[in-house]
A and B are shown apart, each in its own frame.
Chain A
Amino acid sequence: MTHSVPNAGPVSSGQESSVQESSQKDSLVKTPVVVCRGVKRIYQQDSVPVHALRGVDLEIQEGEFVSLAGPSGSGKSTLLNSIGGLDGFDAGTVTVGGTDLGALNSAELAELRLHKIGFVFQAYNLIPVLSAQENVEFILQLQGVPSQQRRERATEALASLGLGDLAHRRPGELSGGQQQRVATARAIVTKPVLLLADEPTANLDSKTTSELLEVLQQLNQQQGMTIVTATHDPIVMGFTSRQVAMLDGEIHQDTGSTG
């Protein structure tokens, strides 16, 4: 099953031109969307320091579809959280879309997440009291998008993911796959610079997993959306253009940028 993805590309005109460059497969140098330099993260667990990230260096170019893979405790989710501004880091620098996350306070990080990053969570994390349409509109409303425009964009995003008929259902009335697609619609409706997905298919069966991955692949290939997903599922890795394997808080293997 495939879904046509509408014009949900990056916000800036620079990004739009970059998408065109990508589709034309020319050889111009792309802009890095994510740059991690010497990122370290240490947790205290019962007074014992746990080195979740041990100086990670990673650069993700615009339009890449990257999987962060590795066993539990490898640091893939920690790295994803640091890139998404959900968690801090103890050393190094992380820049997203040119913004140094280490220089931002909590409110500025919230603004960055709201305007530049889309999230797809393993547990879907939809607001249970809102319909699919309202869930997608919610984030636009936080951005202050006018109601008419909000409605149109949410409808378009849901339709692009094959959920046009289910727009008025609440999460409890949708299957897991449908909920994850609503969550994806919510993540892309703001046209983020970066889409982060944390184990997005972990709760889905193989058929639904494939359907969701096709959607993400289309977003990446047709719209040039930069996607980073943390996963330990080989099927997911098969859909991505670049695989980064992590082990013990370090990058163990990187297939490298395909751009």
Chain B
Amino acid sequence: MAAPSGQQADRQHSDDPAATSPPTDRRPTGRAAELGLLVFAAALVTAALVIVELNQNRALSWHLAAYGGAYLLALAAAHLLVRRFAPYADPVLLPVAALLNGLGLVMIYRLDLAAAASAVNRGEDPPAAQATLQLVWTAVALVLFLLVLVIIRDHRSLASYAYTLAAAGIVFLAVPALLPARFSQVNGAQIWIRIPGLFSIQPAEFAKIALIIFAAAFLVTKRGVLSTAGKRFLGLTLPRVRDLGPLVVALLLALAVLVRGNDLGTSLLLFGTLLTMVYLASGRVSWLIIGLLGFAAGAALAYRLFAHVRVRVNIWLHPFDDPLGSGYQLVQSLFGLGTGGMFGTGLGAGRPDIVPFASTDFITAALGEELGLVGLTAILLLYLVLATRGLRTALAVKDPFGSLLAGGLAFAIALQVFVIVGGVTRLIPLTGLTTPFLSYGGSSLLANWIILALLVRISDSARRPPVAPVPADRPRASLTEAHTELVPVTGERTDRTRPAGRTDTPADSGTTDTERAGS
């Protein structure tokens, strides 16, 4: 392409041939803001670590600064790669996730200290440190985040693997059910793939992402039918079941596997997310009503069938009936939150380790005890920021697949936080889910960083300024000469030899006043 030599200087920074004229209204990419927030997040995490050490009366050393510096370096590396591979990505997503992950690491480290101290008091060996392992998982998760960004250069390419992903997700999900309990069972839930001594992963976390991608791709193809076809009944437009066949089959298979493995939290999360995506795609309230009725029926059935569901509901309704037995965990969590009060006991100065599973399911109770209502609200606001930025991306992105995918992923994060924080604070019955980014657990961390990478990728495409228009001085062929391959849609047509795409009618013959197709 021959460009005037005067513009040569302008375009030397750009290898995009379409950008012959530098766009004047290019909006800021937000990378500077992202870097600032990342430095802030690393500083906050380092401060949290220092405060824990102070409160635990441990000697301050430069090791702490080294930890903070290493975290900052890892984040800076992530930032540089985002700058390279997703330059227009949303500037808030990465720092918020980094801060949540860092706060989780500090809290897990703090619970490690408490567990070691109580083991020493009892004269036992201190248990293995969870924080070290979580640190390794964080590093792996960051690498995975970057890998997803580098490999998936355009999120729309995911849509072509929809059915593959759905099948792989369900098979992966079903692996623990097929393995012997020794390799798959932890605390009564058969949802793990364990390789003793090496690692254990929870396939549901990854299957969830695969199913959300599948649902987005599937719903995009059915969107038109979903929002138009159907019978009307009692003021509601009833959907046709056949339009949703594959999605319903995939969802029922996944739910069957999850319920069999006693993982009700993930089934609730998956069901809620896919239902919301159907609503996002069709915009019809009837789907929501049908879904919620189905959920109510499923919940009633689960209550009748499973003893542990009845126990959970009973603890939720009457936690103080058996405060030292079945209600112990929830009661201690409530006491912890009460002890924290408005401003908390200070990081490292409370007793969050009294709550069983404080580092996984009950990490928000631990944070609530040590940071108080004020701190816990800030953390919940961080999740709100994450979810709204995801939904904002869903609104801004131009392709319907990306829009549904971003909406589904953002809603999944929000719903997961609601289910687990609601459970811990006794708003709803407790179901075992991790708190995204905060909780101890490799699978959850990896899966959430993958979700974040997908959101960053989609937000990059949503915020990317439109490609500069074709220069006006280029000779423009008239529309009718544009070459396109046309295929007859009806099978019985035989005259394929007619010149396709050629319309001989002059463009202005359409001004006769025949109103043939009235609206």
User: Does chain A bind chain B?
Assistant: no
